[in-house]
């Protein structure tokens, strides 16, 4: 059963730990000095732990059994000194690992965020927001856990295990072989559990992404949920996703508990073998009591890291699953720009067409542009349009006809499939993306504000735009309400601008477009959220804003585009007609019918 619906994220396929860790090593290498220090500390920690049972053996065999107390206090002080040294070294080890882990996580989060900022819009169309947030937050946090108790400490555990095996073999070969007879079972158990836990952790990370995606959407649309009394329905949907996440964790818990229990049982069996065989050797006089006690302590220290193996496996496998998802995101192409060959091929096709151009190239020109969001369903079909410098063009037509798509292609949020768009005669795919977007200012129907001040939302931190904030706000009439606020331009903007009306948020968006002083202005239903009084108030500001700029205005309210230099009617992705308001009304075509429907109710 698919619990997640559209939130269901495909679980990653088989991955190779070595490849993932080699890629991950790039983020660790800047801090290799701290890692080297830890690697130097690990043998010292292992040596301290190996020395403790040996000191106890000496105390028992040389002093306690013989009843000689002289020198026993020296051994006790040596034992205490080794314990204190081990504690100090362990502190340094943990501190260095944790600090490196935090720095590595910060670096990875920065790179992930930087990468996400440059991903094409089509990626966000496919991936839920919550899933992306999961990769930047909890997936990266898992890597911190790996540093704290995983990847490096495993090296220390291996050193300790090798040391224990060596010391035990040196102390008594036969007793060591009897004790280690259970190692093949232990190796088989560890290998089997590793494979099973890996898949379980992939499931857990995927389900967590689904849950976060749902929560993000639900919280963003909480007002709609409450208005339409959908609370219980959303509770049911959340319960399914929550249960899916819970169920994904159950196999992890099962294998984790099973591994711990089996290791504990094998440890007890090993101690029993030591007591059985070692006790017989003591009776025969072939083994001292101190050696037997040391063996029991060594085997406990031997199984201590193995007992923790289940926890380390949990952390390491969780980290591997997280790395799979993180690198899958980083491997996503940051743009879907056409190659130079495809641009040239497109130009060859266009050159075969006849275009009636004026004595200089228009500022903006669409040449036989076709585009579809889904294969086989064109939104635009062989669309042609020339816009002269300083001209104000209005795009009108029914919803879904392709008007907004035209502006998205112009700003290269989506890449053209066939044909080309030119600015001053140059294909925009040949121009640097940043330069194209700096020449275009966009105001959308749904204003987007960020937490911070009003000034920040107008200039977005750009120093040049910051110098034009006051002038831009005055140009669109936003200064009238901003200056009435207690803190003026420093007034706080809460999440999504919820402390302002829709009209006020749109006025701030207008001011933002003006502050960046674009050469081309795109208004996509920009006055749709403004009431009639506010619209009338800013019309003069809009005209001032458009003065000297080339403008593309998308509007359903035809009253706002009557004075456009040219009105273009888009019908089913094709330019159906164009002209002034008067010309189109006289033509009695699609524009005339739209006008009649809006103003005469016909």
304, part of any domain: yes
Give residue 354's pLDDT. Answer: 39
Domain boundary among 298, 330, 362: 330
384, part of any domain: no
* Tokens 């996703």 belong to residue: 241
- Other beta carbons less than 10 A from residue 299's beta carbon: 21
Q: Is 495 helix (H, G, I), strand (E, B) or coil?
A: helix
Tokens (6 digits) for 447:
């204003």
Give residue 262's pLDDT. Answer: 82
Mean pLDDT calculated for residue range 472-479: 85
Q: Which range among 249-258, 267-276, 346-355 shows the weakest confidence by mean pLDDT?
A: 346-355
In this structure, the answer to whether residues 317 and 448 fall within a common structural domain is no
Domain count, the chain: 2
151, part of any domain: yes
355, part of any domain: no
CATH number where 495 lies: 3.40.50.300
Q: What confidence tens digit (pLDDT) does each residue in 262-316 have?
A: 888 888 888 888 888 888 878 887 778 888 888 888 888 887 777 666 567 667 7
Mean pLDDT calculated for residue range 405-410: 89
Give residue 540's pLDDT. Answer: 61
User: Strands 566-571 and 392-396: what pairing?
Assistant: parallel
CATH number where 119 lies: 1.20.1560.10
Mean pLDDT calculated for residue range 332-360: 48
Give residue 80's pLDDT. Answer: 92
Q: Of 196-200, 204-208, 552-556, give the range with the top mean pLDDT.
A: 552-556
What integer best gives the mean pLDDT of the chain?
80
Give residue 335's pLDDT. Answer: 59
The phi and psi torsions of 440 (rounded to 5 degrees) equal -125, 130
Q: What confidence tens digit (pLDDT) does each residue in 549-564 have?
A: 888 888 877 777 888 8
In this structure, the answer to whether residues 588 and 481 fall within a common structural domain is yes
In this structure, the answer to whether residues 86 and 161 fall within a common structural domain is yes
56, part of any domain: yes
Tokens (6 digits) for 79:
């034992």
Give residue 85's pLDDT. Answer: 93
In this structure, the answer to whether residues 463 and 395 fall within a common structural domain is yes
Question: Residue 88 — very low, low, confident or very high, per pLDDT cuts 50/70/90?
Answer: very high
In this structure, the answer to whether residues 324 and 397 fall within a common structural domain is no
Q: Which structural domain range is residue 576 located in?
A: 389-412+437-600
548, part of any domain: yes
Domain boundary among 330, 348, 372: 330
Q: Which range among 198-207, 298-307, 391-400, 502-511 shows the weakest confidence by mean pLDDT?
A: 198-207
Give residue 360's pLDDT. Answer: 56
Q: What confidence tens digit (pLDDT) does each residue in 419-470 have?
A: 999 998 889 888 888 888 888 888 887 778 888 889 998 988 888 888 989 9
Give residue 357's pLDDT. Answer: 37
429, part of any domain: no
In this structure, the answer to whether residues 271 and 400 fall within a common structural domain is no
In this structure, the answer to whether residues 159 and 286 fall within a common structural domain is yes
With a cut of 80, say whether residue 147 has pLDDT above it: no
β-sheet with 574-579: strand ranges across = 440-443, 520-524, 550-554, 392-396, 566-571, 574-579
Tokens (6 digits) for 562:
């009557």
150, part of any domain: yes
Mean pLDDT calculated for residue range 4-23: 56
User: Strands 418-423 and 426-427: what pairing?
Assistant: antiparallel
With a cut of 50, say whether residue 338 has pLDDT above it: no
With a cut of 60, say whether residue 352 has pLDDT above it: no
Q: Which range among 221-230, 254-263, 491-500, 518-527 shows the weakest confidence by mean pLDDT?
A: 221-230
Give residue 198's pLDDT. Answer: 66
In this structure, the answer to whether residues 465 and 596 fall within a common structural domain is yes
Give residue 183's pLDDT. Answer: 80
């Amino acid at each position: 059963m698919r619990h997640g619906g559209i939130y269901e994220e495909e679980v990653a396929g088989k991955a190779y730990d070595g490849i993932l860790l080699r890629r991950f090593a790039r983020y660790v290498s800047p801090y290799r000095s701290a890692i080297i220090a830890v690697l130097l500390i690990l043998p010292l920690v292992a040596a301290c732990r190996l020395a403790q049972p040996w000191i106890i053996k000496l105390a028992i065999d040389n002093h306690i059994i013989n009843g000689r107390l002289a020198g026993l206090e020296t051994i006790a002080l040596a034992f205490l000194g080794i314990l204190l040294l081990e504690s100090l070294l362990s502190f340094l080890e943990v501190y260095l690992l944790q600090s490196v882990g935090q720095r590595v996580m910060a670096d990875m989060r920065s790179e992930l965020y930087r990468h996400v900022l440059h991903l094409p819009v089509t990626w966000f169309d496919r991936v839920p927001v919550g899933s992306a947030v999961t990769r930047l937050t909890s997936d990266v946090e898992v890597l911190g856990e790996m540093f704290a108790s995983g990847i490096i400490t495993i090296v220390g555990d291996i050193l300790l295990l090798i040391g224990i095996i060596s010391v035990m073999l040196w102390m008594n070969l036969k007793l060591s072989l009897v004790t280690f007879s259970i190692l093949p079972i232990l190796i088989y158990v560890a290998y089997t559990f590793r494979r099973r836990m890996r898949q379980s952790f992939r499931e857990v990370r995927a389900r967590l992404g689904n849950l976060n995606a749902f929560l993000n959407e639900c919280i963003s649309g909480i007002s709609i949920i409450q208005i339409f009394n959908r609370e219980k329905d959303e509770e049911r949907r959340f319960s399914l996703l929550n249960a899916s996440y819970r169920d994904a964790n159950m196999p992890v818990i099962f294998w984790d508990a099973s591994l711990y229990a089996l290791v504990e049982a094998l440890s007890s069996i090993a101690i029993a073998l030591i007591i059985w065989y070692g006790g017989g050797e003591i009776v025969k006089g072939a083994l001292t009591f101190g050696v037997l006690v040391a063996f029991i302590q060594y085997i406990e220290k031997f199984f201590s890291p193995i007992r923790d193996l289940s926890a380390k496996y949990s952390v390491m496998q969780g980290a591997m699953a997280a790395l799979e998802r993180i690198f899958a995101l980083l491997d996503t192409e940051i743009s879907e720009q056409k190659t130079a060959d495809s641009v040239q091929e497109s130009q060859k096709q266009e050159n075969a067409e006849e275009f009636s151009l004026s004595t200089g190239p228009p500022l903006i020109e669409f040449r036989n542009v076709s585009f579809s969001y889904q294969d086989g369903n064109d939104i635009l079909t062989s669309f042609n349009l020339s816009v002269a410098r300083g001209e104000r063009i209005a795009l009108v037509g029914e919803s879904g006809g392709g008007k907004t798509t035209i502006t998205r292609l112009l700003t290269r949020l989506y890449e053209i499939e066939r044909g080309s768009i030119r600015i001053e005669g140059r294909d925009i795919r040949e121009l640097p993306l940043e330069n194209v977007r700096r020449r275009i200012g966009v105001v959308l129907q749904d204003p987007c504000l960020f937490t911070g001040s009003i000034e920040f939302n107008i200039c977005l931190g750009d120093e040049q735009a910051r110098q034009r904030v006051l002038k831009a706000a005055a140009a669109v009439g936003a200064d009238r309400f901003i200056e009435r606020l207690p803190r003026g331009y420093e007034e706080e903007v809460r999440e999504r601008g919820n402390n302002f009306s829709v009209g006020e948020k749109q006025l701030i968006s207008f001011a933002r477009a003006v502050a960046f002083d674009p050469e081309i202005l795109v208004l996509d239903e920009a006055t749709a959220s403004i009431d009639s009084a506010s619209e009338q108030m800013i019309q003069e500001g809009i005209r001032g804003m458009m003065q000297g700029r080339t403008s593309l205005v998308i509007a359903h309210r035809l009253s706002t585009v009557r004075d456009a230099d040219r009105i273009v009617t888009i019908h089913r992705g094709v330019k159906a007609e164009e002209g002034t308001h008067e010309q189109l009304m006289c033509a009695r075509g699609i524009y005339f019918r739209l006008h009649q429907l809006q103003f005469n109710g016909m």
